[in-house]
Structure 1
């Protein structure tokens, strides 16, 4: 479905440019955008490699395992349908830790695996389980301690102080995560109450 939306948007843009006679500007924007995207991507590599390397060191040193153990009691309360020792819980915790460090690229595969495992727990149904909805809400709000990707973008564009957003990022993502959990629980209990508590 997403692919169809993107194709639809591209077609609308080209048709609109053709009608207004701005096709030359569109072509120029395509080439300039591609050039800038490559430059930004190369700038990302150094920062992401550094933090991924730090995570690997933390993993080898047992720090990530300790952080996961610290988060496990909270995670078992947030995801009561997922057994504490199930692979889904491991993927959920890995996803959360990756998001803490702003490593969306590292968090995404873990998130996909977590959803696949939770789907198995849900009996392979096409409808999302309570835990799947909760995980999506938390993953979208994603509490972040070090916004690695945003810092990399700010460094790429020569920000005078690329790390000054750390404090506001922690505050914003903390409140967004709390709001996501509260809204998720509100709609869950409202739905179960509507079904007579089942």
Structure 2
């Protein structure tokens, strides 16, 4: 990947020199770097707030009540996970982070969920069907309110950054249902 970036940067510099646009090229590089840092700090703030909220939810015990609300849906999807297993809490937190469009905050929660799911794995080093289901749900990332995207659009001055809520919800829900349908279909075929 580093080689690709080096090639792209080198080609850009060569074209800027030959077309006489070295000054605008240099300005664009610094503007892009500034913008990247600003967006990174903005996203870091969102992730920090969400991880703080998840810590409060865990410490207060509220996450177990939330997990209990999600349990009927999760028990249909994850049939081989015991009711009191910690993976359900991690899966619930991951799904909640994704529902609120906080994919960056969902990543450590997803890693924790996979680690917890691996404790149920009898054949270490292979993926279980529950792990596959979780990967599909995590990747599809159904988003009720995509806070990160709305925040980025607002930071860049979008007139109505929240107008993406319904299209994002529809697109992510359809992708999750389709992916789960394909996963369960292949499982039935290959069984």
TM-score (norm 1): 0.77
Residue in 2 that maps onto 1:143? 142
Q: Is the 8 A contact 2:95 2:141 kept in 1?
A: yes
Residue in 2 that maps onto 1:3? none
Residue in 1 that maps onto 2:155? 156
Write out per-residue CA displacement over residues 34-53 of structure 1, whole angstroms, 9 at most, x where no aligned residue.
Answer: 21111223444665666667
Q: CA RMSD in A?
A: 2.9
- Matched residues in 1 for 2:141 and 2:74: separation? 14
1:174 shift after superposition: 1.4
Residue in 2 that maps onto 1:196? none
- Matched residues in 1 for 2:108 and 2:52: separation? 17
2:170 corresponds to 1:175: no
Q: 1:9 aligns with which of 4, 9, 34?
A: 4
Residue in 1 that maps onto 2:70? 71
Residue in 2 that maps onto 1:195? none
TM-score (norm 2): 0.80
- Matched residues in 1 for 2:119 and 2:153: separation? 40
- Matched residues in 2 for 1:89 and 1:45: separation? 26
Counting only pairs closer than 5 Å after superposition, residues 1-198 of structure 1 correspond to structure 2 as 6-14=1-9, 16-17=11-12, 20-22=14-16, 29-44=28-43, 64-123=63-122, 125-192=124-191
Q: Are residues 49 and 14 of structure 1, via their aligned partners in 2, closer, same or farther at CA, if it must alter by over 3 Å?
A: closer
Q: How many matched pairs? A: 186
Q: Are residues 63 and 87 of structure 1, via their aligned partners in 2, closer, same or farther at CA, if it must alter by over 3 Å?
A: closer
Q: Are residues 141 and 60 of structure 1, via their aligned partners in 2, closer, same or farther at CA, if it must alter by over 3 Å?
A: same
Q: Are residues 30 and 121 of structure 1, via their aligned partners in 2, closer, same or farther at CA, if it must alter by over 3 Å?
A: farther
Q: Are residues 91 and 70 of structure 1, via their aligned partners in 2, closer, same or farther at CA, if it must alter by over 3 Å?
A: same
Q: Is the 8 A contact 1:119 1:125 kept in 2?
A: yes
Write out per-residue CA displacement over residues 84-123 of structure 1, whole angstroms, 9 at most, x where no aligned residue.
Answer: 2111121111111111111222211110011112223223
- Matched residues in 1 for 2:83 and 2:73: separation? 11
